[in-house]
Amino acid sequence: MNTHKDLDTWKLSMDLVEDIYLETSKFPKEELYGIIPQMRRAAISIPSNIAEGYARQYNKELIQFLYHSPVLS
């Protein structure tokens, strides 16, 4: 593996982000400042934590970032 983008978990989490953005775009406009941004931020935090953890020097740090990701919670 050369980058975090080679990880299957990261790829799946990016698919989830795309799905969340697509589905939340169908929500009522009243939710524009409510649940929509909350769901989007939660979704994007998953691949972000994976990428940040992968960039760390030690596997222990990677594991810690993966536990911060909602995928493993």
Above 60 in pLDDT, residue 73?
Answer: no
Q: Please give the average per-residue pLDDT across 3-14, as a whole number.
A: 90
Per-residue pLDDT, 68? 67
Per-residue pLDDT, 1? 64
Task: List b or e across 10-30, with b for residues whose CB sees 16 or more CB atoms inside 10 angstroms.
Answer: beebbebbeebeeebeeeeee
Q: What is the pLDDT of residues 38-69, one digit of tens each?
A: 999 999 999 998 888 888 777 777 777 777 66
> What is the distance between the alpha carbons of residues 15 and 42, in angstroms, rounded to a whole number?
14
| % of the chain residues with pLDDT over 70 | 86
